[in-house]
A and B are shown apart, each in its own frame.
Chain A
Amino acid sequence: MKFKDLLGLSISNLKRRKLRTFLTVLGVIIGTASIIVMVSLGIGQSELQMELISASSSLTTVSVYGGSSGMYYSGSSQSGQSEEPLYITDEVMEQFASLPHVTGASPMLNYYVIAKQGAYENNFNLVGVSHEYMENIPLGEGSVPKAGDKQLSLIYGNMIQRDFSNAKTGEGYWSTGEEPDVDLVNRPVFIIFDPDRYYQSQNQNQSAQDMTGAESGETVQPVTPPKKYIIPTAGIVEGGPEDWNQYSYSVYCDVDALKSQLKTVFRKDPIPGQPTNKKGKPLSYFVYDQAEVYVDDMDNVKEVQDMITSMGFQAMSNVEWVESSQKQMQAQQAVLGGIGAVSLLVAAIGIANTMMMSIYERTKEIGVMKVLGCDMDNIRDMFLLESGFIGLMGGVLGVLCSYLISRIINALYLRQQMQEAAMYGTVMGDISRIPLWLVGIALVFAVLVGMLAGFFPAKRAMKLSALSAIRNE
């Protein structure tokens, strides 16, 4: 018998009991939709989690710290010859960059400065990073300084402006509720690269006023206030003063420009924050307290991290966090999928029941077909096709239904998210996500369940006696 004819027979059989077929298909629709929706919730949740992780920091980035006292201790005791602590230098940066799977490395030179504009001042860490690093910062205004630009220019985080406070009263946005009168883009910003001396000179002025000539015997070398530099603004990080992201509270600049700027500011004097050798003299090179190493793929992060650790540095990444949260999410997904699978199981029982009913009803017909020489395998295949078809229809309609349900869930979730986001910043996104592979698996599964449920009824139909055709009712 030709497959096309078999298919035609099966479909005409399904058509003749439309309501029953529909009800059975409905069972499969519910089963399929519940599996898809449940799994999509699991996927959505774990992807949201991943987005949250990657919003706070990159998943393929390894942060490296060096030069700490702990490292100094272990470094000297292990090697026994390294007198100096393990610093992250330009040389080390090159080593990092040449590691396998590493696509790039950026030093992070943190330098504490004071910024002034008018009556307002602010202090923050200036972070000197590579040009590549800056290019990944999403900018709302301005542009990243050109590579190799010797002139220092700054990229401000979008929350920096609100952090400025009045130098005299010490009051800022957080106490007064008023936006500080600061314009980082259009008005010049003065940067003080030697905050210690600045504070010393401030204190000195005050103490000088307090005790004018009271103790003239002591000759205090007056501290001259440090020079202020006008540093141009290159850009502002994307987002308003309330949209938090990982760049919001920092100020970035090109590391080479920062180094040359610091050299011109301090000349031969030691630069604050930079280590000195045993004699207290400044080193001839810069030492970075932190660096970021970029890895090509998430799967290789652990390997790179281990390599850097074995070089003697402290390396941190999100891998452990991601792994543990992924494990947790997988368990959650299995539970959700299991709940969905139960309803598909019920649908399978429905299919089996329908097929059994159908066979009882058509006992005589099957007998006639057998008397007229219909192959037994064909009879079995006909019933298998019917139940498989029920599965397929239920699967297709179930997929459509689950898209609908998923949309509704997402719409509801979005409203809740908006409320949460208004209170504290959160990552926005769909909670129910249906990837294409899930649709494919669900369809295959539905057809398979249909055919499996129809298997025993079909075998039974195949074995029905041809004699039933002869009996007259």
Chain B
Amino acid sequence: MKGKRIIEVRDLYKIYQVGSNRVHALNGVSFDIYKGEFVAVVGTSGSGKSTLLNMLAGLEPPTKGTIQIAGKRIDRMNERQLVAFRRNNVGFIFQSYNLLNTMNGIENVAMPLMFRGVPKAKREKQAAKYMKLMNVLDQAKHMPNQMSGGQQQRIGIARAMVVEPKIIFADEPTGNLDSHTTMDVLHLMQRLVREQQQTLVMVTHDNTLASYADKQIRIVDGKIVSLEYGERGLEIEGEDAEAEKQLSLGAGAQQPQQEEGEPETASRERKEQGVSENE
């Protein structure tokens, strides 16, 4: 069983201007993601993994390089097109759940459908289906502040799935959960990918969590340093896996280092500090 390529990233750069320093958050990244894959982007804080996710979801524009999702060049889209693109193709799971406090559970899940203009009765039926799948149907009438973190994140996952997107992005989805709930949520996501044939891209700093993925993309200092495949990942990509490695690692290695030594490291550290302050 071989999957279709759903995401193609080529030679992606993101350079921030911090004061007088240029910070290379992403420094020439290339990879592919196949349909039905559970991909983990692993890296320490400030490695550029979050920047990568933001660009995949169209939240920030890349400085250079191309991103193609489901055959569309999202690096060429304007903000309006990006919003519409996300509405129709992308689900998103946040670290801090980001449920709307004014809405109850089922309304939160149904919200992306509301953005699509689906009538209330229909969208709540759909929402109930995914809440049941996530085992939180009993929270339908509860407000977010009446739920535990695990329940909120399950609602969050149901919300990402309710539009039946081509791809789901998850940004440290278990970052705010205790270890027991973390495993719970992780298993749920795994099941979701396998049973619903969803594509999931998860960003995490935790190697253990990443090991549950079909494919791990490890990023250090804005570059891919390794690709690791799980059993299922190899099954999906087959012989493409080797070419993948060539593309991601080789292309990255061939990129000339423009900035070297002290200044770059220093500035990157500054960025890391900035990021960690935010977290």
Contacts and interface: CB of A to CB of B under 8 A. Distances in A.
Interface in B72-123: 79-80, 83-84, 86-88, 90, 92, 94-96, 98, 100-103, 111-112, 114-117, 119-120
A97 to B, nearest CB: 69
B244 to A, nearest CB: 27
Contact of A373 (B103, B115, B175): B115
Contact of A372 (B54, B84, B92, B103): B92
Interface residues of B, number: 36
A373 B95 contact: no
B201 to A, nearest CB: 14
Given A16-B102, A364-B98, A373 B83 contact: yes
A373 B102 contact: no
Main secondary structure of the interface of A (DSSP, over half): helix
B161 to A, nearest CB: 12
A471 B83 CA distance: 18
Interface in A233-286: none
Contacts of B88: 373
Contacts of B59: 371, 465-467, 470
Contact of A5 (B54, B96, B98, B114): B114
Interface in A365-383: 365, 368-376, 378
A472 B103 CA distance: 21
Given A469-B94, A470-B171, A472-B95, A372 B111 contact: yes
A1 interface: yes
Contacts of B117: 1-2
Interface string A436-473: 00000000000000000000000000000111011111
A373 B57 contact: no
A13 interface: yes
B279 interface: yes
Contacts of A330: none
Given A5-B114, A467-B60, A372 B79 contact: no
A13 B54 contact: no
A309 interface: no
A378 B98 contact: no
B120 to A, nearest CB: 8
23 contacts: A2-B117, A12-B102, A12-B103, A16-B102, A368-B100, A369-B111, A371-B59, A371-B86, A371-B94, A372-B112, A372-B115, A373-B84, A373-B86, A373-B88, A374-B83, A375-B84, A375-B115, A376-B80, A466-B59, A466-B83, A470-B59, A471-B278, A472-B278
Which 9 residue pairs of A and B lie closest in terms of their CB atoms, listed nearest first?
A373-B87, A373-B86, A368-B98, A374-B115, A12-B102, A372-B112, A466-B59, A5-B114, A467-B59
Interface of A: 1-2, 5, 12-13, 15-16, 364-365, 368-376, 378, 465-467, 469-473
Given A368-B94, A374-B83, 14 more contacts: A1-B114, A5-B114, A12-B102, A15-B102, A371-B57, A371-B59, A372-B92, A372-B111, A375-B83, A378-B115, A467-B54, A470-B50, A470-B59, A472-B279
